[in-house]
Structure 1
Amino acid sequence: MLPFPVLMEVVIRMLVAVAIGCIIGIDRDLHGKPTGMKTLGLVSLGACLATMSAMGFSVAAPSANADVSRVVQGIVTGIGFLGAGVIIQNPDQNRVRGLTTAASIWVTAAVGIVCGLGLWSVALAATVILIALLTIGRLIEKSLHRQWLQKPPAEREARSLPDED
């Protein structure tokens, strides 16, 4: 059984990880993407738990620990498979969908790892940067997409064909 102060720190780390995952997931939910608040909250919580487990639920400052390093490596690899499940290729339309969702799953796991390590300033900064990127990036992409669609069909077709050697 963990001492009460340690247990409280562990619970706070898990709650922050879930909250950050949910914040990222709300953005995905608002845009009708396949992963949302619950999924990314769970991803972040799982990454946080695995990281804290590797640390033996120590609340001391993180140090260079081979066990933690291996767990982090395993999380990153495993989450890659989860993210790959949301990527869909449609060769008929020459489109790939789900890359941003897959990337958001991966980054959410990384933020969960940071929460598991108790590095609050890094977790907060990463969350702010991630939400800003998703928000501002979406606006820029929509603007670029509108410009692309205003081009004549022949020009769009010529630019979208793969180069032949």
Structure 2
Amino acid sequence: MNAWDTIAATIAAEFSDIPDLEQLTRVIVRLLLAALLGALVGLERELAGKAAGLRTHMLVALGSALFVLIPMQAGIELEDLSRVIQGLLAGVGFLCAGAILKAAHEEQVQGLTTSASLWMIAAIGMAAGLGRDATAVLSTLLALGILMMEAPLRRFFDNRHRQQRIVTPDERDGGR
């Protein structure tokens, strides 16, 4: 065996963590699904002009899927996987905290919804990584529905508020 054969064998052994085509396909589908679902939620946030948009949500979803996939491939026990998930959620919590801003001159806090969407997309990424594809897709659709219904609900309540204007006696008489 010459040096090149040794190098090729070493490289092949280094990439042997996915032993067969079925396992490789499963990993690809889970990672791509996580990234795609992250893209959907991230696109909504980006179109809404929020700081954490497409790339951030895709990376959080993909990273979350990877963090649960790797221990599963290593044959980790369920109890230990729960600690991985707890650590992942704590880390994502710090990222989410960075998305929340409060200006000193404003009473309102900004970024709570984007922070919640990052937290949600981490859970969706974990679901995809664990092979819970239907749960991941359904959760994404629900999250998108919630994020997209703000404007219509706001218009509805603004219109109702305008229609329920109280007329005072002075206004009935034409201000006389």
SS in 2 for 1:75: helix
Aligned to 2:51: 34
Tell me what 2:105 maps to.
Answer: 92
> Which shows bigger deviation, 104-113 or 133-142?
133-142
Aligned 8 A contact 1:21 1:40 in 2: yes
Query: Aligned partners of 1:83, 1:73: CA distance in 2, in Å?
Result: 15
Whole-angstrom CA distance in 1 between matches of 2:57 and 2:89? 14
- Structure 1 Cα separation of the partners of residues 57 and 162 of structure 2: 33
- Give me the whole-angstrom Cα distance separating, in 1, the residues matched to 2:123 and 2:151: 22
1: distance between equivalents of 2:106 and 2:129?
Answer: 41
Q: Determine whether 1:104 maps to 2:117.
A: yes
- Root mean square deviation of aligned Cα: 2.4
Determine helix, strand or coil for the equivalent of 1:55: helix
- Percent identity between the aligned chains? 34
Question: CA offsets, 1:52-90, max 9 Å, x none?
Answer: 1121267xxxx9701211111111111010011010112
Counterpart secondary structure, 2:102: strand
Structure 1 unaligned regions, length at least 5: 151-165
| Residue 12 (structure 1) aligns with | 29
Q: What is the distance in 2 between the residues matched to 1:6 and 1:57?
A: 13
State the SS of the aligned residue for 2:73: coil
Q: May I ask how many residue pairs the two structures share in their alignment? A: 148
Offset from partner CA, 1:110-162 (integer Å, 9 cap, x none): 00000011011101110110000001133223544677899xxxxxxxxxxxx
Give the TM-score of the pair, scaled to structure 1. Answer: 0.81
1:123 maps to which residue? 136
Gaps of 5+ in 2: 1-15, 164-176
Q: What is the correspondence of 1:1-165 to structure 2 with a 5 Å cutoff? A: 1=16, 2=18, 3-56=20-73, 65-144=78-157
Aligned partner of residue 52 in structure 2, secondary structure:
coil
SS at match of 1:92: coil
- Give, in whole Å, the separation in 1 of the partners of 2:110 and 2:162: 18
Larger-Rg structure = 2
User: What is the CA distance between 1:38 and its match in structure 2?
Assistant: 0.8
The C-alpha deviation readout for 1:31-55, integer Å capped at 9, x for no partner, is: 1000111110000000000001121
